[in-house]
Amino acid sequence: MSEAELLDLAARAIDRDTWSIARLITLFEDRRPQCAADRALVLKHLERAGARPDGRFLGMTGAPGAGKSSLIGRAAQRLIESDHQVSLAVLAVDPSSHISGGAILGDRTRVRFPLDERRLFFRSQASDQELGGVSRSTFQAGRLLMRLFDLIVVETVGIGQNEIEIQYIADRVYLVMQPMAGDQVQFMKAGIMEIPDCFILNKCDQEDATRPTYHALRVSMSFARPGEERQLPVLLTSAQSGAGIDDLVADWKSVRNGHGRHSLLDREAYYFQRWVRDEFGRQGLLRLQSSHGSAVDFLRKAGDFDQAQLKFAAEQAN
Amino acid sequence: MSEANGKSKHLLYDNGGQAVRDQPWIFRTYAGHSNARESNKLYRSNLDKGQTGLSIAFDLPTQCGYSSDHAIARPEIGKVGVPINSLDDFHTLFEGIPIEKMNTSMTINATSMWLLALYVALARERGENAALLQGTTQNDIIKEYLARGTYIFPPEASLRMIAEMYEYSLGNIPKWNASNICSYHLQEAGATPAQELAFALANAIGILDLIRQRGQIQGEDFEKVVGRISFFVNAGIRFVEEMCKMRAFTELWEEITRDRYGVKNPRYRIFRYGVQVNSLGLTESQPENNAWRILIEALGVSLSRKARCRALQLPAWNEALSLPRPWDQQWSLRLQQILAYETDLLEYPDIFDGSVVIESKVGALKEEARKEIDRILGMGGVRSAVESGYMKSALVRSMSERVSRINSGDQIVVGLNRWTEALPSPLLGGDDGGVFKIDPAAARETLEALQKLKTQRDGSKVEKALQRLREAARSGQNMMEPSIECALARVTTGEWAGALREVFGEYRPATGIEGQKLMLEDQRVQDLRKRVDDYAARNGRRPRIVVGKPGLDGHSNGAEVIAVSARHTGFDVIYSGIRLTPEEIVQSAVEENADIIGVSILSGSHLELADQLMERLRRSGAEIPVVFGGIIPPPDFDALRQRGVQAIFTPRDYSLMDIMEKIMTLIEERQAARR
């Protein structure tokens, strides 16, 4: 794309024009090396126009069938009804096929946002055979969205215990479970139970099933996370009846108004290291450390994330 | 030979030496279109031709609980059945037809309670005894979630309505079949014979367990309810296996009613079923061959006397092309008449009794079905198996296996993947090209009648009736009588369903395509994957397709098979299930920055939906190519192309790799043009 086109897209994106944001996300997800320069240009322009990287990330994780998508859809709509300023984008990650590399991105099925509502945006991503519950592109798309929206909800793939990547992106991590998932709670306590900041028991219209699960969860939490000073919150919700949605919305709002867990630089350093490892392996990581100190130092020197990628790649090519 | 009363008597003859002739089944034709007046004309002429029962097709808005003047209803009015907005429409629909003597079957599900309420209200206003009404409301919500798509409410509320209809019918309309368990649509969605047996029987168990658990009907009355459970079954082209399936059904039902429900009266343990034979296997290419397929499929459900259907309706030879014309329906009716009256079919007792081969096949089907029933019951029954997506996934898997077999040539379909060269069919000649067209003016009549009704009725009576309905829905009272009151007060279909939507909410089930595989691996698949990978390397991402199912038509098999194929070849696929507005599909495609939009339509509303879709796309500023697939008659191709549709796929394009290659080419061309 030409510079003029990119600037035009960026200007429209600030007004939250859907098609422009959609095309820019594609640019940010694009892993071809030449795209880094385009991204840097877009970000510079956004910065100049006053779009600050202030958006907060909410991580929604949990097993398939727990009702993450329906819950996000319902809470997002309630959020924008209750506050006429706030804006929210969803990034939903679905698994890719190991055979063909393709993916079915089905999370939209349960999230139906009103047409023409520019304060809401939904985008699907394929996990692209990454483990960890998010895609390599999640952080990249997030870098754009955090300059355009107040809140960015990241819905993880929702399979297995290794969905721990989300903690490096999200300012607050929610684990969504459904009643009668007692066995799952046991199963998960070693891995994923250590990550969340808040638990959500969804589908709580099934009252009989809710209570034992609630207690099983409390017990598991004390095993999985001994010595923790304060009890972690457990929200009881139902996407179907709407129960507890207000509590979740209030929790989301507190993240928006509070301090973020990660600074932008922390996140960039983590994902820069990951990128170096993906592209150049352990040798690349060693070279980064030996010639530049830490990822943070290198990012500071390079100016920004995209320049750092360009610079590091150029160094390796020499 | 048997000896009776000391007199030699052949098994086939009665004491008077006459052949023991079976009664013919009920001959039906699934019919209804345009508007109430046109459909009434059609029914009267079908009855004059010797049809012995009515089978009413309703249009999609009526099935999904929208009045004709709702935005989502407009393109669908009168397309696949008759639109019914109020009791006035029912008066028109049944004019001159003696409902107290008629056996009327209504293909209606989510709004069954409403249509039955209208029928009872009609009898009351006509001064007939409503207790004499006989017939069936299809009312099988499970298969709507799994295959047909005209659900509205979540499972719990929907099943409660079915149970309430049984409870009401028992005391008030004892000859009414409140629901009819349909395995028909499961086979259309790809079910194997064992799946068809198991899912249908598990479904029936779900209903009966619920009624028993509600506790309002007990003892002998409960036996009567068991006796009122009837089935609607499919019959495919493998007619020997299908006949065995029917015998397996009757035997398994006998076991279930006796052992699980303790039904003592053998009359109430009989497996009663009606049939529509398979439409899935009917082809658009060489459509005249379908006449033979329909005949053979009819044999599967009529040959075995012990497992013979109670009512039969046959599709028409041109069903893969369009809705049938009156002549097409007449031709299918004649088939039934020849089979029943010209042949000696009805003169024999069961001709398969004692056949070792049949017995062993039936045994094998029963065993497989029992295992599957146990699995579903182990999950907590049919409702859990629907909500978890288990049943839907199983069907999508069976369907993609079937499609894979046809694509690889392992399953022969004459005229489609073998012997495809043929002379032009004279049946497709004539002014209408062998297909049926709805008169666009017909919808106007419906809308005008609705408008008139709304101005003439007593608004306060309407509001009071709706209020009572809401209260009953909330409090758990039976909603039948409040619904009849609504009918008498001239509440509309959309208002009735709207009131209950407020109370129960709307349901979106699992699409069932996550994790599905296509059993197709050959050089073409490999080549296409390579093309997709190359594209991804060049463009920094995989091609993205939005597969959309706009409007109210819920037949999602085509869309699902395309979605699974696209993923199989390496696309990222956005599929959000059925019943989206064209605007929502465009919204998805824009937000997802899709490379192409694939739209599946079987309702006949492709032109109207194309207009809406293209208009929205223009407004969004996005330039995304659009392709259409479904039942689209060739005469409409030009009109679609003029609207900007870039490719059109119909059942004739059965080769998935042909379709995917074409789609990939469109994406590559667009990318090249942008450079």
| Percent of chain B topping pLDDT 90 | 68
Residue with tokens 């609705």: B450
The ipTM (two decimal places) reads 0.93
Nearest chain A residue to B587 by CA: give it.
A115
B30 is an active site residue? yes
d(CA B652, CA B113): 38
- A40 and A306 Cβ atoms separated by less than 8 Å: yes
Q: What is chain A's mean pLDDT, rounded?
A: 87
- The single residue of B555, B568, B606, B636 carrying the catalytic annotation is B555
A276 pLDDT exceeds 80?
yes
| Model pLDDT for residues A234-275, shown as the tens digit of each residue | 999 988 778 899 999 999 999 998 888 888 888 999 999 988
Q: What does DSSP assign to residue B5?
A: T
Helix ranges (H only) for chain A are 3-14, 18-29, 35-48, 68-82, 136-145, 166-169, 182-188, 207-224, 245-257, 264-292, 295-302, 305-317
B524 pLDDT exceeds 50?
yes
Residues of chain B with Cβ-Cβ distance to A123 below 8 Å are 591-592
- Burial class of residue B609, CB neighbours in 10 A (0-12, 13-18, 19+): buried
Q: What does DSSP assign to residue A97?
A: P
B2 pLDDT exceeds 80?
no
d(CA B113, CA A270): 59
pLDDT for A5 equals 93
Q: Is the dihedral of CA A200, A202, A208, A212 positive or negative?
A: negative
User: Would the CB atoms of A100 and B563 count as touching at under 8 Å?
Assistant: no
d(CA B294, CA B276): 10
What does DSSP say about strands B103-107 and B54-57: parallel, antiparallel, or unpaired?
parallel
* Interface of chain A toward chain B, CB-CB under 8 angstroms: 17-19, 21-23, 25-26, 29-32, 35, 65, 94, 96-97, 99-106, 108-110, 112-113, 115, 121-124, 126, 240-241
d(CA A40, CA A303): 10
Q: Give the 3-state secondary structure of A71-96.
A: HHHHHHHHHHHHCCCCCEEEEEEECE
| Percent of chain B topping pLDDT 70 | 97
pLDDT for B319 equals 84
Q: What is chain B's mean pLDDT, rounded?
A: 91
Secondary structure of residue A8 in the 3-state scheme: helix
pLDDT for B5 equals 47
pLDDT for A183 equals 57
- The single residue of B70, B185, B361, B606 carrying the catalytic annotation is B185
| Residue B641: how many other CB atoms lie within 10 Å | 14
Chain-centre distance of CA B26, in angstroms?
20
Side-chain-side CA neighbours of residue B21 (13 Å): 12
Q: What does DSSP assign to residue B175?
A: T
Contacts 24+ apart (CB under 8 A), B404-409: B404/B518, B404/B519, B404/B520, B405/B519, B406/B654, B407/B520, B407/B654, B407/B655, B407/B656, B407/B657, B408/B520, B408/B522
B10 pLDDT exceeds 60?
no
Q: Which of B77-81, B242-246, B430-434, B555-559 has the highest mean predicted lDDT (pLDDT)?
A: B242-246
User: Would the CB atoms of A104 and B573 count as touching at under 8 Å?
Assistant: yes
Q: What is the mean pLDDT of residues B477-486?
A: 98
| Model pLDDT for residues B291-346, shown as the tens digit of each residue | 999 999 999 999 999 889 998 989 999 888 877 888 898 999 999 999 999 999 99
Taking the Cβ of residue B158 and every Cβ of chain A, the question of whether any pair is shorter than 8 Å is answered with no
d(CA A61, CA A173): 7
Greatest C-alpha distance within chain B? 96
Report the side by side order of strands in the sheet with B134-137: B30-31, B54-57, B103-107, B134-137, B176-177
Residues of chain A with Cβ-Cβ distance to B592 below 8 Å are 22, 105, 123-124
B184 is an active site residue? yes
pLDDT for A167 equals 87
Q: What is the pTM of this model?
A: 0.83
Polymer length in residues for chain A? 318
User: Would the CB atoms of A123 and B592 count as touching at under 8 Å?
Assistant: yes
CA angle A253–A255–A258, rounded 5-degree value: 110
| Model pLDDT for residues B17-64, shown as the tens digit of each residue | 776 788 899 888 788 889 999 999 989 988 888 887 898 999 999 999
Helix ranges (H only) for B423-568 are 441-456, 459-475, 480-488, 493-504, 523-539, 557-568
d(CA A274, CA A138): 13
pLDDT for A190 equals 57
User: Would the CB atoms of B532 and A97 count as touching at under 8 Å?
Assistant: no
Residue with tokens 């698994």: A95
Question: What residues contact B594, with CB distance under 8 A and at least 6 apart?
Answer: B544, B545, B546, B574, B588, B624
- B233 and B184 Cβ atoms separated by less than 8 Å: yes
d(CA B628, CA B30): 27
| Among candidate residues B613, B607, B608, the one with its CA nearest the CA of residue B548 | B613
User: Would the CB atoms of A105 and B574 count as touching at under 8 Å?
Assistant: yes
- In sequence order, what are the beta bridge partners of B598? B547, B627
User: Would the CB atoms of A124 and B532 count as touching at under 8 Å?
Assistant: no
Q: Which of A18, A101, A106 sits opposite B511 (nearest CB)?
A: A106
Shortest distance, CA A290 to any CA of chain B (angstroms): 31
Please name the amino acid found at residue A157: V
B145 is an active site residue? no
Nearest chain A residue to B510 by CA: give it.
A109
| Model pLDDT for residues B160-208, shown as the tens digit of each residue | 999 999 999 999 999 999 999 999 989 888 899 999 999 999 999 999 9
Taking the Cβ of residue B427 and every Cβ of chain A, the question of whether any pair is shorter than 8 Å is answered with no
Tell me which of A35, A72, A94, A100 to substitute to probe the interface with B (most B C-beta atoms closer than 10 Å): A100
Total H helices, total E strands in chain B:
25, 17
User: Would the CB atoms of B591 and A29 count as touching at under 8 Å?
Assistant: no
Taking the Cβ of residue B591 and every Cβ of chain A, the question of whether any pair is shorter than 8 Å is answered with yes
| Model pLDDT for residues B429-467, shown as the tens digit of each residue | 877 777 777 787 899 999 999 999 999 999 999 999 999
| Model pLDDT for residues A197-219, shown as the tens digit of each residue | 999 999 887 666 778 778 877 87
User: Would the CB atoms of B591 and A123 count as touching at under 8 Å?
Assistant: yes
pLDDT for A184 equals 54
d(CA B28, CA B617): 44
pLDDT for B292 equals 96
pLDDT for B4 equals 44
d(CA B406, CA B655): 8
Residue with tokens 């020997």: B240
pLDDT for A220 equals 75
User: Would the CB atoms of B540 and A35 count as touching at under 8 Å?
Assistant: yes
Least confident of A64-68, B211-215, B300-304, B315-319: A64-68
Distances from the Cα of B266 to the Cαs of B223, B253, B258, in angstroms? Answer: 10, 11, 9
User: Would the CB atoms of A115 and B584 count as touching at under 8 Å?
Assistant: yes
- The single residue of B245, B366, B392, B549 carrying the catalytic annotation is B549
Taking the Cβ of residue B149 and every Cβ of chain A, the question of whether any pair is shorter than 8 Å is answered with no
